[in-house]
Every structure is written in C-alpha cells, then in structure tokens.
A and B are shown apart, each in its own frame.
Chain A
Amino acid sequence: MGFIGKGLFDGMVVTARNFVGSYFDKERLVTVQYPEERVQTPENSRTFPFLVYDDDKSPVDTMRCVACKICEVECPPQCIYIVMDRDEKGKPRQRPKVFDIDISVCMQCQICVEVCPFDAIKMDNDYEKSQYGRFDELVEHLPDLLKSNEYYNRIKPTEASAVDAKLKAEKEKKAKKAAPAAAAKPAAAPKTTAPAAPASTASKPAAAAPAAKITIPEDAPFTPEQRQWLSGFLSTIPAGAAPVTGAPAPPAPGAQTPAAGAPTGDWPWHDPALGMQQRLDLAKSASLADKLMAAMAQTDCHACGYDCRGYADAIAGGAEKDLSLCLPGEAETADMLKKLMEEAGKA
C-alpha cells in the first residue's frame, strides 16, 4: 500500500508527465488551433449533399439529376423539395426547376446519396456553413447546390473515380446495345455514340437514349432546347412511316410482353424528351403493356422498383397493383395509367 497519500502522489506524477510531455510529445498535445490551422478531413467525411454536373460551361444542362424524386421520398427528415422543370407546353425537361435542401433540417445521413440511381447527388465535406440568419439563409437552392464533377473528384478522389468508371461503362454498354438497332433502321444518320463523346465523362445517362436512335451530331449548331425538340421530332418519324421492325402490329387483347432486353429502338416512345401525348401517339397501335410504358416518365430511375419496361409489364400482367409508383411522372403518369387500365378493362 505504501504511505498515506500515495494514490494522490501517483496521480500527480501522471498529470506532471502529461503537462511536461505536452511540450515535447505530439501524442500529448493534440489541440489544433482551429481558425489558423485546420485538420484535413478524411475522404469519406460528409456534411451536406450537393448536385453533380459534368460541364462547367452549362451546369444546369449537364447536371446528372433527372428530378426523379427518389431522394425526396426517401429522405428521413424530409428536407429535400424538388419541382420538375417543364417547358412552355408543360412537357417535362427531366431536370429539376427547383431543388431545395433545408440544411437546418438535413441530418447528414447520406441516404439520398445511397438511393440515387444516377449518381447525381453526393456528400460534400465543407463544414463551414455558418449563416447570420435562421430562415432563408439555411435553405440551399439549386445554384448553391450545383457543383462540378471536377470538384467532386477533388474532394473524394477514390469514390469519384469509381463513379466515373461506372458511368462510362454504363454508357458504353448502352451505346453497344443500341448500335445494331440504329444500324437496322433505314433512316440511320451518322452515329455519334458514347465512345466518341468528349471526355467530359458521362453526360446525363438519360440523354444516351435519344442518341441511340437518330442522332444529331455533337457539333451541330443547336441550342440544347432545339436539340431536344429535334431529337423528339426525329424519333416520331419511324412510327409515322412504314411499320417499324419489331413493333407489335395489331392491338392484341391482354398483355403481350415483348422479349426482355430488346433494343431501345423497338420502343420509340422510350425517350424522356418526348411529351406524354407524343409518347402515347407512338404507342397508339401497341399492346397494353407498351401503352402503359409510354405513359411513364422513361427515366428508368427504378423509383417504382423496376425500370419503365418492367413496371409496365408488371402492371399489365397483374403482378403490380399500385399505379402511383412512377415518381418522375408525377400525377400525370398516375392518372394516365389509371385511365389506360380502365379502358383496357372496358374493352
């Protein structure tokens, strides 16, 4: 036991060792003088979400977000608010007009990042977000949220390069799959497929779908709006002309399911750039499943748990009863699906 007060004395030895040691040993002096020096946060470190875009010249046009609203639904504290962008005619543009994140509500849980099928939303590591106000200042709007892929590569190199590789592989796969279909078409224009695309990494994955059919060359002098309209216009041509290869001819009663994995060219309506009416016109003479598919938003976002083809087949086959699962299509799609099903029931 020793002498009385030995425990106290031993304790003093420890504190003295720590005090003196703090002058020599880095282990014992761990304080960082924050505003003057900063700790390098680890790569995985996360704070608030941001939206990734690919090209610095037009962030809004090259953002990966297609406004499918999966994150809005899945966000546990419901801090995301999205409004789909629409043109004058009310046709969805497959990108958000409003994308707000209330960072006073956001709890930095990263679930929006995990559920995003387009790698469009990622976690930032900027922790200096102090504001002088409590209300509007703490809501981040679309311009604040948009950050370049290059920035993403800088803050999280490992993760970002994996994402880039994944998107590139997906794009190549899509282009390869679409290539035979495009070649089979009589009106096949000079192709500019993914591998030849500029090295700005993946553009919007959804944009690969129109590129597969009749493609407007990348260097053609069109604004993005004109380009979008043109690709929509061009994709209507095959339906109006001679019967397209593989398109089901007479409207068959009951669900006729086309082979899974058929080339995109067989579904001319599978183009997010088209409006609802245009898509339905294209599928006018097709089967119920195809009509249902044409009513969807064509983003293949998997918000419903399927891709657009799978969801349509599931509804037509009776496996899926819920008609309100298409998030990017909003009420328009849900209403149209209901109408189509009612029509089919009457017929």
Chain B
Amino acid sequence: MIQPLTEGKRFTLVPGSEGLIETQKLEVSIGPQHPSTHGVFRMDCMLDGETVIALKPVMGYLHRNHEQLAERMAWLGSMPYTDRLDYFNSMTNNWAYALAVEKLAGIKVPERADYVRVIMSELTRILNHSCVIGFMLQDLGAWGTPLLYAFREREKILDLFEAVSGSRMMCNYMRFGGVRVDMTAKDLAAAKEIVSRFPHFLDEFEQLLTTNEVLLARTQRIGILPKELAINASISGPMARASGMEYDIRKIDKYGVYGRFDFRVPVGDVGDVYDRYYVRVLEMRESIKILQQALRDIPAGPHIAPEVKLRNFKIPPGDGYGRIEAPKGELGFYLVSDEGGKQPYRYHVRPPSFINLTTLEDMCLGHKVADVVIILGSIDIVLGEVDR
C-alpha cells in the first residue's frame, strides 16, 4: 500500500485544494516503543496533513516461537506456555488448549471442573474488559483515572487467582480433564464476594464514562468496521459483536457447561469505537449473571478426570480443533497427533488479537492520526498473542 517516496510523487495535491496549497505526504512510524501500541508493535502510517491515507501494521517483535516449541515437548509442557500467549487472560488460554487436547484424546471432564473453568473464565473476561476500557481511555488522554480504577478491581480478581492457582497472571491452572487444584469453600466465598461487589464498580465506571461528552466526541463514528468486512475478515469477539454480528462461541458451541446458563449476547449496530466500548460493558454485566448462576449451581465432585496421566500422556493419531470464546474473540488450538503421540506433530494457535488486527488499516483510513491509537486500543490486542 505504502509507496516509497520517489522524486516524481513527492508533492501531491489534496483534492479540493487545487491551486491553493501543495502538501507533502509524510510517513510516520508509530512504535514499536510507543506507549499506546500496547507492547512492541509498529504502525507505518502515511499521513496527508493529519489524515491517515495508508497504514501498515508491522508485527513480530515479540515472536517467541511458541508453536514450534510446543511441537518439541510433551503435551503438558505447553500448558504453562499458553499462559504467555495473551498474558492478561491465562485462564482462558489454558482452557482453549485443554479443550483441544480433551477433544483429541476423548477425555470426559467432570462436572465440577467445568463449573470451576466457567467461573475462572468469566472472572478473566470481566478482568480483561475492564482493563481494556482503561487502556483505551488512557490512549484517549484520560491519564490514569479509569485505568487505575479498573486495576484496583482487577487486583481483587488476581488475588483470588493467586489463592487458587498459585500465581496471579501465569496461572497454569487447567489440566487435561479438569483443573489442577479444586476451589475450596473459602475460594468460592471470595469469588461470590467479588461478584457481588463488581456491579457497583461497573455502575460507577459507567457513570464516569458512558455519557462523558469528551468520550462521546472522541469515539462515536470513529473507526467504523462494517458488518460485511467483519464477516469477511473473520473478526470475532466483542469487535465482531459491536459490528452487529451475533456471534458468540459460548452460544454456538456450548462448550463446557455454557448451555446451562441464561445470558444474552450484546450486539452493537454502528461498529465504531464507542460500540466496542459499550459492548464490553454489557458483556461484563452478562458475565456477572453467568458467574452468579455458576457459583449458585456448582456441584460437588472430583475436580479432575482420574484416568488422565500426568506423565507419559499419549494421544492416538488424529487431529482436533478446540475453540473457546476468549475475552478477545475466538481462541482456537489446532492439534495433530501422529504415531507415538507423545507430543503434538502440529500445533497451531488461532489467536483472536492477530486476526482482529488485520482490519486495522480499513478502520483507520480517513481518520486523524490521533484516532489511530484509540482504534488500536478498541481492537484489544496483546502482543504476546499476536506474535506468539
């Protein structure tokens, strides 16, 4: 898209300004060390005045060879590495990988384990969404306030994660056929406490933001992603729903025990940055509903399938794709097991951040350079997952 600036094309005329003024196209590289690129990510912007006329995302700075590494070690060995894909949401990453392996090996997960997984994933979702809104507002110039309010709430959830799994962010909590340790009554009580207090925080958060005139002016009609493009680019998660796609894997696949919960899928109609913000707020409210039901109904029983071996775990030849509705969209693991079955023959991750990022240029064209960072913030990327 971006042409090198050759002598002949150096000066162009902005349409409508013929004879008035000659402007020069300017190539600006935003990142990879820019604070609003959410990690090490670079955007090669071509500007005409302040307007973006071309944008090329440059990624790969955080590439850690995740997929190839996984093909060289036992099945369980990749579990802690999945924590480091989307390091905000290690619980859902664990679940997606465990689900793919369980599909491939035909393991039945005990009911209680599924409930614990739902509780952990929905907590992860509210944690992710509240922080993403905070980051987005940070990019807007709301220095600190919404982000730190979100972090304050996030810390309570991370404390619970640490008490249950042993680590705040790199949980490494799920195992094939269940979860590593059971949630105790104390943990469940702590989860209930978080769930009962969170709506209050959310009300306050909305009071701060939803009708704020500055936020409305900066986000409405900015970075519109049309529904057709969202479908064609296989966008998923809150971004797709903000563009009007009623697409939620929790409803479609009903993996785990999601078929048992009563919740709605919020859908936007414009597909701009504001819709992406508001869909996330509504999703948090639905997550709270799921959490209340899960915490009420959680049955007693084993937390892991007893027949699953920790070591020398082998899977018969075959392939399988496990996908879940991660906070950022459809997170899938495609695994192939071959003769021997001690480690994956092929291990592929379908990361939502990466696929959602592909429409960045389409959303940014024609907007001011200051809007680029908000649009990027509204996509909700984590570079650990984009580059893998």
B170 at the interface (CB under 8 A from A): yes
Nearest-neighbour CB distance to chain B for A48, whole angstroms, equals 12
Partner-contacting stretch, out of B48-56, B207-215, B218-226, B293-301:
B207-215
**Inter-chain contacts of B80 with A (CB < 8 A):** 76, 107, 109, 111
**Cα-based distance from A302 to B81 in the complex (angstroms):** 25
Q: Is the CB of A45 within 8 A of B166?
A: yes
A207 at the interface (CB under 8 A from B): no
**Cα-based distance from A11 to B214 in the complex (angstroms):** 11
**Inter-chain contacts of A115 with B (CB < 8 A):** 310-311
Q: A41-B162, A44-B164, A123-B166 are in contact. Are A13 and B207 (CB under 8 A)?
A: yes
Interface residues of B in 94-149 (CB under 8 A from A): 145, 149
- Which of B170, B204, B214, B311 sits near A305, CB closer than 8 Å? B311
**Inter-chain contacts of A123 with B (CB < 8 A):** 166
Q: A7-B216, A30-B152, A115-B311 are in contact. Are A42 and B162 (CB under 8 A)?
A: yes
Interface residues of A in 30-46 (CB under 8 A from B): 30, 41-46
Q: Is the CB of A10 within 8 A of B310?
A: no
Q: Is the CB of B212 within 8 A of A7?
A: yes
B163 at the interface (CB under 8 A from A): yes
- Which of B81, B212, B310 sits near A8, CB closer than 8 Å? B212
Q: Is the CB of A76 within 8 A of B208?
A: no
**Cα-based distance from A44 to B212 in the complex (angstroms):** 42
What band does the interface of chain B fall in when counting residues whose beta carbon is under 8 Å from A? 35 or more
- Which of B162, B204, B311 sits near A44, CB closer than 8 Å? B162
Interface residues of B in 216-246 (CB under 8 A from A): 216
Nearest-neighbour CB distance to chain B for A317, whole angstroms, equals 18
**Cα-based distance from A211 to B215 in the complex (angstroms):** 76
**Inter-chain contacts of B216 with A (CB < 8 A):** 7
**Inter-chain contacts of A41 with B (CB < 8 A):** 162
Which residue of chain A lies nearest to B212 when distances are taken between CB atoms in the complex? A7
Interface residues of A in 104-125 (CB under 8 A from B): 107-111, 114-115, 123
**Cα-based distance from A6 to B84 in the complex (angstroms):** 42
Nearest-neighbour CB distance to chain B for A20, whole angstroms, equals 14
B54-73 to A contact mask, C-beta < 8 Å, 1/0: 00000000000000000001
- Which of B145, B159, B167 sits near A15, CB closer than 8 Å? B145
Q: Is the CB of A108 within 8 A of B312?
A: no
**Inter-chain contacts of B180 with A (CB < 8 A):** 114
**Inter-chain contacts of B208 with A (CB < 8 A):** 10-11, 14-15
B89 at the interface (CB under 8 A from A): no
- Name the residue among B145, B163, B207, B208 with the largest chain A CB count within 10 angstroms: B208
**Cα-based distance from A44 to B166 in the complex (angstroms):** 5
The 4 lowest CB-CB distance pairs between A and B, nearest first, are A109-B80, A7-B211, A42-B163, A76-B77
Given contacts A42-B159, A76-B80, 18 further A-B contacts (CB under 8 A): A7-B216, A10-B211, A14-B204, A15-B208, A42-B162, A44-B162, A44-B163, A44-B164, A44-B165, A74-B77, A76-B73, A76-B78, A107-B80, A107-B170, A108-B167, A108-B170, A111-B79, A111-B172
12 contacts between A and B (CB under 8 A): A6-B211, A8-B212, A14-B204, A42-B162, A44-B163, A45-B162, A70-B311, A74-B77, A76-B81, A114-B310, A302-B311, A305-B311
Chain A residues within 8 Å of B, Cβ to Cβ: 4-8, 10-11, 13-15, 17-18, 28, 30, 41-46, 70, 74, 76, 107-111, 114-115, 123, 302, 305
Chain B residues within 8 Å of A, Cβ to Cβ: 73-74, 76-81, 83-84, 145, 149, 152, 155, 159, 162-167, 170, 172, 180-181, 204, 207-216, 310-312
